[in-house]
Amino acid sequence: MKKSLFILFFILVYSNFSFGQMQNNTLNIGVIENINSIELGENRTLNIYLPEGYDSNAKEEYPVIYLLDGSMNEDFIHIVGVVQFLTMIEKMPKSIVVGIANVDRRRDFTFPTTIEKDKKDYPTTGSSAKFMNFIEKEVQPFIQKNYKITTSKTIIGQSLGGLFATEVLLKKPTLFNHYIIISPSLWWNNESLLAEAPKLLEQPINTKTKVYIAVGTEGKQMENDAKKLAEVLTTNKKLKTTFEPLPKEDHLTILHNSVYKALENLNAK
């Protein structure tokens, strides 16, 4: 693992193989797009990694990976590194990464809660429906219009982002066909989403969808909830669900290793 991390670090810092080239003392790894969101009533930033050889005038199209917590100072840089590395060793196809930068992740990634203490401690929470509409009606159409993409769409979410990715899977499953759900905060609102899951899964899912769920050593509730989610998802034949406990990881360390394993798993032939 340490050797793999060193290799990734070397590539990120020293290579211009697919991260762009030095121009005016600037290392370019992608582009920044801004969306004036009607759904959210604010401007939002998308950090976009384009793979080596990307040409807007060429016929080649690319899968898209949508990354929650996709700010430059959050998960965008190191997840792009994982994607670039797996592409280089031919474990996955060249892909576009769309990092959705945060404004208020508690607001965007959570649905309304009935827990009074959470309402008091986190007063901005509860707007995941709006954020879901933002992705469906604004982000995905923007990417489709402006970039050369296939129909393959992956979402990556950890913690509250994992809660949101789970909510999308259960309520609007066709928004993505690959779900990477890491350490989902299914404890939110007394595990109400987990309780509703069997009923929500009764809606038809028209396309084959792959789901990868991982959890580390993160406390009995989070570990048990992730396992329960995987178990209930296996009841739907349209979902190919992989559950992978990673006991050597904790809440702070799990994302990098789990995304590496998830992308290998979802792209396995």
65 part of a folded domain: yes
Conformational region of residue 242, where left means phi above 0, alpha means psi within -120 to 50, and beta covers everything else: beta
List pLDDT tens digits, range 100-150. Answer: 999 999 999 999 999 999 999 999 999 999 999 999 999 999 999 999 999
7 part of a folded domain: no
20 part of a folded domain: no
141 part of a folded domain: yes
List pLDDT tens digits, range 219-265. Answer: 999 999 999 999 999 999 889 999 999 999 999 999 999 999 999 99
Looking at the chain, the number of H-run helices and the number of E-run strands are: 10, 10
* Residue 52 belongs to domain with CATH number: 3.40.50.1820
Conformational region of residue 47, where left means phi above 0, alpha means psi within -120 to 50, and beta covers everything else: beta
As a whole-number percent, the residues of the chain with pLDDT over 90 amount to 83
- Print the domain residue range for 156: 30-266
| pLDDT(15) > 60 | no
pLDDT class of 7 with cuts at 50, 70, 90: very low
153 part of a folded domain: yes
List pLDDT tens digits, range 168-220. Answer: 999 999 999 999 999 999 999 999 999 999 999 988 887 889 999 999 999 99
Q: State phi, psi for 33 to the nearest 5 degrees.
A: -115, 145
254 part of a folded domain: yes
| pLDDT(5) > 90 | no
| pLDDT(51) > 80 | yes
State whether residue 195 is helix, strand or coil. Answer: helix
E strands, the chain, are 22-23, 26-27, 31-37, 42-49, 62-67, 96-100, 149-158, 178-182, 209-215, 239-245
**How many independent structural domains does the chain possess?**
1
Task: Write down the residue that tokens 């005038």 correspond to.
Answer: 57
Q: Give pLDDT, residue 24.
A: 64
| pLDDT(6) > 80 | no
Q: Give pLDDT, residue 56.
A: 86
The Cα–Cα gap between 203 and 137 comes to 21
| pLDDT(2) > 60 | no
| pLDDT(8) > 50 | no
Diameter of the chain measured on Cα atoms = 56
150 part of a folded domain: yes
196 part of a folded domain: yes
Question: What pTM was computed for the model?
Answer: 0.90
Query: Are the C-beta atoms of residues 183 and 154 closer than 8 Å to each other?
Result: no
